[in-house]
Structure 1
Amino acid sequence: MSDEPASRGLNRTLLGKLIVVAILMFGFAYALNPFYRQICEALGINVLTQKDGTVSAPVNTQIDTTRQVVVEFDGNAQGPWRFRPVTHSMTVHPGELVTAMYEVVNTLNRPVSAQAIPSYAPQNAMPHFKKVECFCFKQQTLQANEAKQMPVVFFIDPALPRDVKTITLSYTFFEVGGLEKTAAR
């Protein structure tokens, strides 16, 4: 019987430790999402908000006419629409301000909100691909069966490594928020 109070004390100590561990696990899981976003933003991977959205048109930048870079455009749809580049590739000079167009068509009979996420190949070209205006900077809302042409205004930084001759800009266009809730009838 004398072991019973000692056993209860050990059980209470163990319970206290388990509660602390559970609280720490919950706190870690809660902090993981913002921490993950900061790491991705710092490394430039899986970034939803592009920092180059604040880039203005090049001022007094010389166009490097001695170089040409082929920019290829790609579009991937993850949802109820058709999404494609209007022009599949173009040849540009570093420093030259260029506009490319993408087309999206909502094939549903309801409005849809969507977001485009860009990716670049080769990866080392990403810091040199400067977008002045892009539909990827904010969510797009498409009405039922609406078709839209959306511009990407960009320039290639003349500091792009000389061995990069081709850059592929690819967008994945996906629905944000899922199905809209309809009012009860």
Structure 2
Amino acid sequence: MSDTDRSPAGRTRNTALTCLAVAAGMLGLAYASVPLYNLFCTVTGFGGTPMLASRPADRVLDRTLTIRFDANVAPNLPWRFTPETPAIKIKVGETQTVTYTIRNTGVAPATAMATYNVLPELAGSHFMKLECFCFQENTLQAGETMEAAVVFYIDPAIADDPGMADVHDITLSYTYFPSKNGKSLEASAE
């Protein structure tokens, strides 16, 4: 250690640099926390986040579950958003497609994207999506209607999960939020 580092000015400089490094690290972690949390949820199914699958299940079980479809729109978005059916019964491992209708009821074009989750949360790691419209920005002109589909199955591994033994109903919930350039306008305003 040099004499400069032992002097009061040297110690003050070292303390200031340490504080600056800690603050920069905390700021970096703050910016990285949302993407890291989203990655964690996507990989583990934590918080009811459905998993992404690259192929259908390799087997279909006799166990049948009721899948409910919840469609929501943020209050400041003039869209109607409805599933083709409120619920279906499927066998575990069976691939299903459900179509949603989205309509801009406003007088001007609007851009939005859907987020999703699964309830109960523990079911998120077993809800496997092959195709989905979530996190895709869509612009609808006034009065325009579009259809979007979700293709999914329930992973047969659910049969080996003791926490899911008494689960008979799973809800897939989507919410459309206004967006711009791939970001929610609510998040952009913060």
Q: What's 2:55 paired with?
A: 56
Gap runs ≥5 in structure 1:
1-8, 179-185
Aligned to 1:167: 170
Q: Among all aligned residue pairs of Structure 1 and Structure 2, give the percentage whose two residues are the same amino acid.
A: 31
Q: Residues 74-117 of structure 1, C-alpha deviation per residue, up to 9 Å, x if partnerless?
A: 01111321222221001011111111121211123333222111
Q: Answer with 1 or 2: which has the greater Rg.
A: 1
Deviations 1:15-49 (A, max 9, x none): 7634652453144213322134213422445799x
Count, aligned residues: 166
TM-score (normalizing by structure 2): 0.73
Q: 1:36 to 1:16 in 2, by over 3 A?
A: same
Runs of 4 or more off by more than 3 Å in structure 1?
Answer: 9-20, 43-48
**Are residues 1:98 and 2:100 paired?**
no
**Which whole-Å CA distance do the structure 2 matches of 1:47 and 1:67 have between them?**
21
Instruction: State how far apart, in whole Å, the 2-side matches of 1:27 and 1:125 are.
Output: 35
Instruction: Provide the rounded CA distance (Å) in 2 between the counterparts of 1:21 and 1:109.
Output: 52
Can you give the 5+ residue segments of structure 2 that lack an aligned partner in the other structure? 1-6, 160-164, 186-190
Give the whole-Å Cα distance in 1 for the aligned partners of 2:22 and 2:38.
Answer: 24
1:152 to 147, 150, 153: 150
Name the Cα RMSD after superposition.
2.8
Partner letter of residue 67 of structure 1?
R
Aligned: 1:84 with 2:82:
yes
Cα distance in structure 1, aligned partners of 2:55 and 2:108: 35
Matches within 5 A, 1:132-151: 132-151=130-149
